[in-house]
């Protein structure tokens, strides 16, 4: 039989997370690869889900999401960002942020349209751009004074007559950059000049550190009308297995996205939607605690990685620390990631897999710190010997 997979998807094998998590399980390694928390979300939220199941809320919820959740999202947008969205028509509940991203790109980008992605990027973007028949135009984020950012000229040069959308992800996975108002203004100016849509992945909107403020691009002048703003309860409330997300956008965009979404999943997660509606109203204090706890975990992991000899970038948000492996004498993150279980009993993700041009990220390795302190400490202890001369390999630069 011929290759069964459609041509547009052939460059996408198994996701790196599946590969690295399987490697961690097989070798008994500590998994700092995939970014999922190893502690639960707020108790009362979990109880609301249980109660909703017991109360018989187990049939199809409405296509756009249950009204209580859409109402809670609208209130939350207003309180936090001063953004007004109509719960009836401007808010769509999705199967995680992943479906919100997929349905948005599929609905809004036609064959041959171009989509700008900042690389390294979350891996689903490139696959969905390919599914939609659109073409990706990568713009690199590079470290400048210890923080990953883009070159405004490179961004401008990537926009052409076929450009349809820019995918903006802030706080950014995997670099930990939180775009400043100035950076977002440069993106916004291009969107307005060239009539582009901003697809804004803000799943880490509450997880910023050191007082760094998350600015939604929709709050910039002229941007609400051309932005699809995407959130994830999985990230905000530490329930990544629930896959409840939502998007907020002007009605004409939501209608377009919902047209696609209804045939992907129609709807999902009724009892979890009830619980997330509760959490958005009652558990933001819990989220503040999560943010503080993550900031401390970031410091714990950074200190350990730096002591082990990695070059370490300080993330202003997210679950992840980006490291440079060259000070340890390694050159290729892909090779090191596959050997790290044997060398140290730890799994991390090679950042190069998040690039169109892997050579730009060849020497980076991403570690997740959304783990219990004792797990981070054990990982750091195991990595402490990595740089010792006896452990060096033919990979030495």
Sites of contact with ligand PLP (CB under 6 A): 96-98, 122, 169, 173, 201, 203, 232, 234-235, 240, 243, 245
Q: DSSP state, 178?
A: -
Q: How far is the CB of 169 from ligand PLP (least distance, A)?
A: 5
Closest CA to 128 of 102, 108, 104, 94: 102
Give the residue with the Cβ less far from ligand PLP, 243 or 363: 243
Least distance from C-beta 335 to ligand PLP, angstroms?
25
Nearest CA among 303, 307, 306, 308 for reference residue 387: 308
Q: Where do we find the tokens 């300080």?
A: 314
What does the alpha-carbon distance between residue 345 and residue 382 come to, in Å, rounded to a whole number?
7
Residue written as token pair 């969107």: 191
The residue whose Cβ lies closest to ligand PLP is 96
- CB 349, min distance to ligand PLP, A: 12
Nearer Cβ to ligand PLP, position 243 or 278? 243
* CB of 228 vs ligand PLP, minimal distance in Å: 13
**Closer by beta carbon to ligand PLP, 203 or else 346:** 203
Least gap, CB of 107 to ligand PLP (angstroms): 17
Choose between 174 and 309: whose C-beta lies nearer to ligand PLP: 174
107's CB contacts (< 8 A; 6+ apart) are 256, 257, 259, 260, 261
Helical (H) or strand (E) element with 93? strand 91-95
Report in angstroms how near the CB of residue 18 gets to ligand PLP at its nearest: 14
Nearest to 354 by CA among 10, 16, 13, 7: 16
* DSSP three-state, residue 149: strand
* Beta carbon nearer to ligand PLP, 121 or 330: 121
Q: In the complex, what is the shortest distance from the CB of residue 263 to ligand PLP, in angstroms, rounded to a whole number? A: 18
Q: Which is nearer to ligand PLP, 240 or 267 (CB)?
A: 240
Nearer to ligand PLP, 177 or 240 (CB): 240
Contact indicator for 274, 124 with CB cutoff of 8 Å: no
C-alpha pair distances (Å), 397 with each of 75, 304, 363, 369, 387: 54, 23, 11, 28, 13
């Amino acid at each position: 039989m011929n290759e069964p997979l459609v041509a547009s998807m052939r460059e996408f094998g198994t996701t790196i997370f599946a590969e690295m998590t399987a490697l961690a399980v097989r070798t008994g390694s500590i998994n700092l690869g995939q970014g999922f928390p190893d502690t639960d979300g707020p108790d009362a939220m979990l109880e609301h889900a249980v109660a909703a199941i017991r109360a018989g809320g187990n049939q199809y919820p409405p296509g756009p999401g249950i009204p209580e959740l859409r109402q809670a999202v609208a209130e939350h947008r207003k309180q936090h960002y001063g953004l007004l969205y109509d719960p009836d028509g401007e808010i769509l509940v999705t199967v995680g942020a992943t479906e919100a991203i997929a349905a948005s790109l599929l609905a809004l980008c036609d064959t041959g349209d171009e989509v700008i992605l900042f690389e390294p990027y979350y891996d689903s973007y490139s696959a969905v751009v390919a599914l939609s028949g659109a073409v990706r135009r990568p713009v690199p984020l590079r470290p400048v004074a210890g923080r990953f950012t883009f070159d405004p000229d490179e961004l401008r040069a990537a926009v052409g007559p076929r450009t349809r959308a820019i995918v903006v992800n802030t706080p950014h996975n995997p670099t930990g950059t939180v775009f400043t108002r100035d950076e977002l203004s440069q993106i916004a100016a291009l969107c307005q000049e060239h009539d582009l849509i901003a697809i804004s992945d803000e799943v880490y909107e509450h997880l910023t550190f050191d007082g760094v403020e998350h600015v939604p691009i929709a709050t910039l002048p002229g941007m609400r009308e051309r932005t699809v703003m995407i959130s994830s309860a999985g990230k905000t409330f530490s329930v990544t297995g629930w896959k409840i997300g939502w998007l907020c956008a002007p009605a004409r965009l939501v209608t377009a996205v919902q047209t696609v979404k209804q045939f992907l999943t129609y709807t999902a997660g009724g009892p979890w939607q009830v619980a997330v509606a509760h959490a958005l109203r009652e558990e933001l204090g819990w989220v503040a605690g999560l943010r503080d706890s993550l900031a401390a975990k970031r410091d714990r992991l950074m200190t350990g990685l730096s002591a082990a000899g990695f070059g370490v970038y300080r993330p202003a948000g997210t679950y992840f620390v980006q490291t440079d492996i060259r000070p340890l004498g390694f050159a290729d993150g892909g090779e090191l990631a596959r050997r790290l279980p044997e060398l140290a009993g730890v799994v991390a993700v090679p950042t190069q897999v998040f690039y169109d041009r892997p050579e730009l990220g060849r020497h980076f390795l991403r570690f997740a710190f959304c783990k219990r302190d004792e797990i981070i400490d054990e990982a750091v202890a195991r990595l402490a010997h990595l740089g010792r001369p006896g452990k060096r390999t033919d990979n030495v630069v």
